[in-house]
Structure 1
Amino acid sequence: MTGIRTVLSAGAAAVAVALTLTACAGPAEPDTEGHDRTVETASAFLSTYVDDGRVVRTDQGGDTVSEGQAYGLLLALAAGDEEQFDRIWSWTTENLQRDDLLLAWRWEDGAVVDEQPASDADLDAARALVLAGDAFGRDDLRTEGIALGEALLDDMTAETAVGRILLPGPWATSSPHAYNPSYASPAAYAVLSEASDDPRWEELAEGSRAVTSALLDANPLPTNWATVAADGTVAIAGAADGQGEPGYGYDATRTPIRFAESCEPADRALAGRIAAALPADDTLAAELDSGAGAVTSDQHAIAYAARAASSAGDGDRDAAEADLQRMSDTSASTPTYYGDAWNALATAMLTDDVLAGCPPLEQSASAAPAGADSGTGGASATGAASGTGAASGFQDPVAAAPASTATPVHLSIPAIGVESDLIGLDRGADGWIEAPTDFDAVGWYEGGVLPGEVGPAVIAAHVDSPTGPDVFFDLPKLTAGDTVSVRRSDGTTADFVVTGLQTVEKDTFPTASIYAPVPTPELRIVTCAGAWDPETGHYVDNLVVTAVAA
């Protein structure tokens, strides 16, 4: 019998479970609608705005900016289009990349017309390069991404009393620093941190979180610009030069999107804070003043994407999905370079793990894709089994600090007659989580989330044994609405309601969609399923039951 082993892929910790289990239901049909939508929107942007590797702002005079090249790289990666990725990166290196590896901001009529770099473009490009290196098996791209990220760290970050911050450009090194809240990208920091092991990426993640929190304390909406002084003082601002009235517009709207895709619950919570400050009307103005009053009658896809992200961070999935539809409709009815870019990027960041974030609107367990292609940069789950074990994978749950330290002691699932004490599943000296030797035992993963606390807690047990059916044999009979209760050591009970069941292939286990962090308490109940493979001595599938707090 084997247990659980941690492996890393594309910035996410993945865990593989192997239990000795025998018998069960067949696999469900894969549902790839979410990823198909990502590929569709990304490919549409590429075919419309990319000309031989140059991303053209067709509605803004036909120029090109480093931001657009970075968007093109991310979307070529999302579409799985290696040839287009190479064309975009080749044009970028030939026309925009400076001697210090940073990217000049603007190119027009055959030449660079503004050689200052913009940190959001360099950060997005570095993220795309590292992930493309993994996705396409290209060490050259991965190396270039790490190098670009190092140049950014060296020239466009600053240490302040509130933490390390991302400067908008090398021109902002004097205190108080000009600061663009929407340039911060926690998911990009995580990707580059894992790839390079440079501690400054984690410092940036912590500093960006602290600054964003302070800015939302000062004003419920993030503004396009702000200032951060060396002593840690933060303030909203009207523009990069500090002039004008602060507003929530085409820059600021990126802030909730970037924080909502983070794998850190604290970042998602910041995105969720913004929801209450936004107008709730079906029609949303493209730009608002700092008090959320409309300053234009125009609509824009990114405004709806931002409200979708903030609603997702706040746990309101229905509102978020409604705004994603409005985003798509607006992009279709009023196509623009920036709107179409963010229609595609928000689709990838909020609904798909292809960019190695933790998408808050990825399909629920009852409808999630049955396979996530780890070659496209998302978290992958791998595992091994010995004897009669069968491997399944899941991502190590990431949770906020628990409000209670009470441990789970008993599991009750009345609909299938399960009443069982719970044992802890820990890691052995070999790095694997030790599976219970008793076939009748039910375990909870002690390295993850405490059942009843924020995040996806994990419970696993055998479906049967060499002598017959076992504790989770009837797990496939559960239906939406059935209840699950976990009694804890302090006498309290965490109650859950089943929302769905999913049978997934072990070889393509959808790690991020099932075990990604969530803003509320949830439960994942795992056992083996599918056909028995006599050649390997394994079941080919896993059954995952998802339940949410009652």
Structure 2
Amino acid sequence: MMQRRRALAALSLLPAGLALPAMAQSSLGGCMPQDDWRSFAARHIQPDGRVIDFDTPQQQSTSEGQSYGLFFALVHDDRRRFERVLAWTETNLCGGSLAQHLPAWQWGRKTEGGWGVIDPNPASDADLWIAYALLEAARLWEVPAWRTLGLALLALVEREEVITLPGLGRMLLPWSRNVASGPVWRLNPSYLPLQLLRRFQQEKPTGPWKEIADNTVRMVVDTSPQGFTPDWCAWATEQKAFVADPDKGTVGSYDAIRVYLWAGMLHPQEPARAALLKSLYGPRRVIERPQAPPEYVDTATGAVRGTGPAGFSGALLPYLKAQGASAALTAQQARIPVDLGGTAAVPAAPLPYYERMLLLFGQGWLDGRYAFGRNGQLQPQWRPACPSTRTA
């Protein structure tokens, strides 16, 4: 009975217009397939809560990986794993206190031998996702201490990673202010999911988050002249405008793919949704030719090259759904192996950490396992997990 009440409560929070797939529309007493989460956790999450990217020489763990691990443990009502991922993160990346230290972004095998923090600098996108996961876990699992911890982390972000850029206003830097300098300030559009900013805006109405959200929308629109967003961009103080990143130029690829993902998952009543989707027309235009998502795009000219991996197709599923591109949506699902939620007939070979994360985000949202409310709240579809159907 408790599981049924929780399922009904979750269903009541789904945004208008978000239809659940046939599997999820079955009896509330039914189960929710979670093979993709089980498979990811079995390969990439150690019993102690460390999320590992095996496709790096350092066998690294990153604050990004830990933050996504927390988010998906919450999406799948996996509280034990959430607690372990949080404990490992706090102990190994935060000097024992997430309330006092922003997480180091990289941990792994050191060149001089042994294991530990490789780069102590924080990555602000991970810091946002960790704070968000804590706030939402506190609300959904009714653990007030996690809200306190999430707010403490958010205060650190505001103090150490938010800056007032001349001619623009308050903005989130990709890293701490003490390693940044002008007059050209580097920014990463994929670090700023509007859902998270809205949730922080609701939590702290007098904070910087509405201004940061407004500036994020402006950044995405202004840096997408051909409908594609870049991995990196910059704010030039002298021109008072967004310009090409001084190091990465105008390329859009493995970072930028998340911008379309975040935009596609916005609640239909999000005020900026229409403007963002209108400005990000590039991927739809290319895919409807039809062809696979490009691996690289010159966002200044619209020129594309390479074929993006299956994870790119997974990331674009919510975007294509939001754009009403049903044929393109079906075509991209056909690039995803069936045992990862797609319709490709071939079994899935082991995919890299990042691709699996993109698929967990995109396919999970499309399947109705979670959604984001108008104010950014997580709306999970909590139901009992189906028995695993994997044979390997």
TM-score > 0.5 by shorter chain: yes
- Cα distance, 1:266 vs structure 2: 2.0
The AA in structure 2 aligned to 1:341 is: M
Relative to its length, the structure with more helix (as a share) is: 2
Superposed CA deviations along residues 179-205 of structure 1, whole A, max 9, x for unmatched, are: 111111111112222234443112211
Q: CA RMSD in A?
A: 3.3
User: By percentage of residues, which structure has more strand?
Assistant: 1
Q: Which letter maps to 1:54?
A: R
Cα distance in 1 for residues equivalent to 2:147 and 2:310: 31
Given the superposition, is the C-alpha separation of residues 31 and 271 from structure 1 closer, same or farther in structure 2, using an over 3 Å criterion? farther
- 2:112 matched residue in structure 1: none
Residue 311 of structure 1, aligned match among 320, 333, 336: 320
Q: Partner of 2:107 in structure 1?
A: 107
Matched, 1:258 2:262: yes
Going from structure 1 to structure 2, the CA distance change for 1:123 and 1:172 (only over 3 Å counts) comes to same
Task: Check the 8 A contact 2:14/2:373 in 1, yes or no.
Answer: no
Could you list the runs of 5+ residues in structure 1 that have no partner in the other structure? 1-8, 16-27, 359-375, 381-507, 509-550
Change (3 A) 1:36 1:353: closer
Match of 1:36 in 2: 32
**SS state at 1:286 partner:** strand
Task: Give the alignment's TM-score, normalised by structure 2.
Answer: 0.76
Q: Give the structure 1 partner of residue 55 of structure 2.
A: 59
In 2 relative to 1, CA 314–377 (structure 1 residues): closer, same or farther, beyond 3 Å? closer
Q: Deviations over 1:132-163 (max 9, x none)?
A: 11122111112211211221122112223334
CA shift digits 1:283-334 (9 cap, x unpaired) = 333333334444434x423321343343233232442354245345596345
Separation in 2, partners of 1:156, 1:104 = 13
Please state how far the C-alpha of 1:123 moved relative to its aligned partner: 0.7
Asked whether the equivalents of residues 223 and 243 of structure 2 are also in contact (C-alpha less than 8 Å), the reply is yes
* 2:286 paired with 1:279: yes
Deviations 1:227-261 (A, max 9, x none): 01346410132xxxx12542111001111111222
**2:199 maps to what in 1?**
191
Query: Who wins on radius of gyration, i.e. which is larger?
Result: 1
Give the Cα–Cα distance (whole angstroms) in 1 for the partners of residues 360 and 320 of structure 2: 18
Offset at residue 207 of structure 1 (A): 1.2
Moved more, 41-50 or 121-130: 41-50
For 1:137-176, list aligned pairs within 5 A: 137-160=142-165, 161-170=167-176, 171-176=179-184
Kindly report which structure 2 residues correspond to 1:76-475, keeping only aligned pairs within 5 A, or say none. 76-98=73-95, 100-109=100-109, 110-160=115-165, 161-170=167-176, 171-217=179-225, 219-230=226-237, 232-237=240-245, 242-263=246-267, 264-277=270-283, 278-280=285-287, 281-290=290-299, 291-297=301-307, 299-328=308-337, 332-333=348-349, 335-352=351-368, 354=370, 356-357=372-373, 377-378=378-379
Secondary structure (helix, strand or coil) at the match of 1:104 reads: coil
**1:226/1:234 contact within 8 Å kept:** yes
CA separation of 1:138 and 1:159: change in aligned 2, threshold 3 A: same
Task: Note if contact 2:315-2:361 (Cα within 8 Å) is conserved in structure 1.
Answer: no
Distance 1:84 1:379 in 2: 17
TM-score of the pair, normalised by structure 1? 0.55
Cα distance 1:30–1:63, how it changes in 2: closer, same or farther (>3 A)?
A: same
Task: Provide the secondary structure at the position in 1 that maps to 2:32.
Answer: helix
Residue of structure 1 equivalent to 2:43: 48
1:349-381 CA-partner distances (Å, limit 9, x unpaired)? 4553635346xxxxxxxxxxxxxxxxx94189x
**Equivalent in the alignment of 2:18:** none
Query: Who is 1:73 aligned against?
Result: 70
Structure 1: how far apart are the matches of 2:215 and 2:60?
34
- Mapped partners of 1:91, 1:174: distance in 2: 35
Matching residue's letter, 2:356: D
Letter in 2 for 1:188: L
In structure 2, C-alpha distance between the alignment counterparts of 1:138 and 1:301, rounded to whole Å:
37
Determine the structure 1 residue equivalent to 2:344: none
Aligned-partner Cα distance in 2 for 1:48–1:271: 35
What amino acid is aligned across from residue 235 of structure 1 in structure 2?
Answer: V
Secondary structure of the residue aligned to 2:174 is: coil
Contact map agreement 1:54 1:88 (CA 8 A) in 2: yes
Question: 1:302·1:339 contact (CA, 8 Å) conserved in 2?
Answer: yes
Identity of aligned residues (%): 24
Give yes or no for contact 2:310–2:355 (8 Å, CA) kept in 1.
Answer: yes
